[in-house]
Amino acid sequence: MKRIRAGVLIAALSVSILAVGCGRSGSDSSSSSTVKSSSSAASAKCKDAKLEATEIGVSADTISVEVMADTGSPLAPGLFQGNVDAMMAFAKYVNANGGIGCRQLKVEAWDSKLDPTEAKNGIINACKNDLAMVGGNSLFNPDVTVIGNCADKAGKAAGLPDFAALANDINEQCAANSWVLQAVSEPCTTLSGSRDLKAFVGQYEFYKTLYNGTPMKGLYQVPGDLPTTVQSATAQIAAQQKSGITVTDAMKVSGGTAQSGFTTYVQAMKASGDNFFYGGSNDVAMTKMRKEAAAQGFNDVKVWSCSLACYTENFKAGGAAVEGTYVWTQFIPFEEADTNAALKAYVDALGGKPDSFGAQAWQSGMAFKKAVDDIVATKGPNAITRTAIIETMKTMSFDADGWIGKRTGTKVFSDCFAVMQLKSGKFVRANGKPGTLDCNPNYVTTVTLDPQVEAAKVK
């Protein structure tokens, strides 16, 4: 693989693989009915119950959680503000519809600022004040010790439940008390050296159908402002290569790169004769890339592809320059809200302006609520503790009422997805039927590599 120097990026991930657990289709509702029935059973237990303060973050009236996300870094202002907005909206929605654990839900926000110290401080704050962390998205989170040894109300090192919307850092991915909505690529048996990593390739299988057998090759743009985002991209780069799409260059891009700086990438693609591009960064970088390609008259790419990081209103505002771009998600798309009640609740709560990362936060909120509901349904509203939450989430079956693929356990890799294409300023379905997800075990592959070693090769 040819290597060319470039800037470095921050961005939102390509961490590719965003979102969920396993399932057969978005219409499979068996665990959805389980979610709803446990919620009904929990509500029944609230009648005439004398509520107590059972845990840190659990009073007789409220349950408090923290959403920690990178929102205030100058490298990417407002990067994951969608997570915070979604959790605030989720609290309002839950409180208007019966509450949680016979109580009202309170959400406090912590800005991790793409700073490992602030991420650690956010965990410490949640340990002191909240029942759990829910809906978070902090890219650089290497010290998660407190997640494992946080003391409960009785002073016991019970641990802190972490319902992460996305855990890019392998330390958070593999923390014992993390329930990760985003796919976990790591085996979590070791965090160093060469190891087997999982990667999603369903999108590549779909893109290959658009080329009708023509060999595909292209540049993979890597979010490069943080070591964690570069390392997490290496498995996806290897998976793309394994799927039969040649990666001619893997190049970093920075959140601060001006459009003129994208000349380097376009020239590299011209030199390699590329006909495919994968934007592993965010919507801003993808917009600049497409605009610069157009400015240089480079029209040889059949598929411009991006993760759900480009599934945004901001990207659509790019106009004609971004027309035709493909994005993929692992949840039923916003445009199909009339097919799923949970999805519609989220879209409506956000005033018809949903955010792709916010969707994951909302789904994490639903998972947390289900864990609480399960505890209340079986043991009553005064049994809500961190220990009970952790025990419940390890075996909990969840599919966000059919919005995502079905999953059981804390760290599950989804084999389900949907592809959207931007046409005339709107995202439209490119694969499968509305209201469903395309699921296949073959969409998840295994690659063997050392992310640190491979990340050092990306220039």
Q: What DSSP letter does each residue of 60-89 carry, written as one string? A: SSEEEEEEEE----TTSTTTTHHHHHHHHH
Of the two residues 255 and 365, the one the predictor is more confident about is 365
Number of Cα atoms under 13 Å in the Cβ half of residue 165: 32
Structure tokens at 176: 């014992």
> Which DSSP string corresponds to 227-244?
HHHHHHHHHHHHHHHHTT
Nearest to 385 by CA among 103, 131, 150, 177: 131
Q: What is the pLDDT of residue 37?
A: 55
d(CA 109, CA 364): 15
CA geometry: angle 190, 192, 193, nearest 5 deg: 110
- Given a cut of 90, is residue 158 above it in pLDDT? yes
Reading the block at residue 71, the tokens are 């929102």
Q: What is the pTM of this model?
A: 0.90
34-38, 287-291, 351-355: the lowest-pLDDT one: 34-38
Position 412 scores a pLDDT of: 78
In the chain, how long is the greatest CA-to-CA distance? 73
Q: What is the pLDDT of residue 142?
A: 93
State yes or no: pLDDT of 149 exceeds 50: yes
Residue 38's pLDDT band, with cuts at 50, 70 and 90, is low
Q: How far apart are CA 102 and CA 140, in angstroms?
A: 35
pLDDT reading at 138 higher than 90: yes
Contact residues for 353 (Cβ-Cβ < 8 A; gap 6+): 313
| pLDDT tens, position by position, 396-430 | 999 999 999 988 888 778 899 999 999 999 999 99
For the record, the structure tokens of 55 come out as 């845990």
Sorting pLDDT into bands at 50, 70 and 90, what band is 35?
low
pLDDT at 31 over 90: no
Q: Is the pLDDT of residue 18 over 80?
A: no
What tokens does 161 get? 């439940």
Q: What is the mean pLDDT of residues 122-133?
A: 98
**Sheet strands side by side (includes 62-69):** 104-111, 62-69, 132-134, 162-164, 178-180
Do 195-332+415-457 and 30-192+336-408 fall under one CATH topology?
yes
Domain coordinates in residue numbering, the chain:
30-192+336-408, 195-332+415-457
pLDDT confidence of residue 226? 86
Instruction: Give me the architecture of the 195-332+415-457 domain, per CATH.
Output: 3-Layer(aba) Sandwich (3.40)
pLDDT of residue 378: 95
Percent of the residues in the chain that have a pLDDT greater than 90, as a whole number: 82
Residue 301: left if φ>0, alpha if ψ -120 to 50, beta else—which one? Answer: beta
CA neighbours closer than 13 Å in the CB half-sphere of residue 4 = 19
Q: What pLDDT does residue 36 have? A: 61
Q: Domain 30-192+336-408 is in which class?
A: alpha beta
Q: How confident is residue 448, by pLDDT bands cut at 50, 70 and 90?
A: very high
Between CA 304 and CA 287 the distance in angstroms is 11
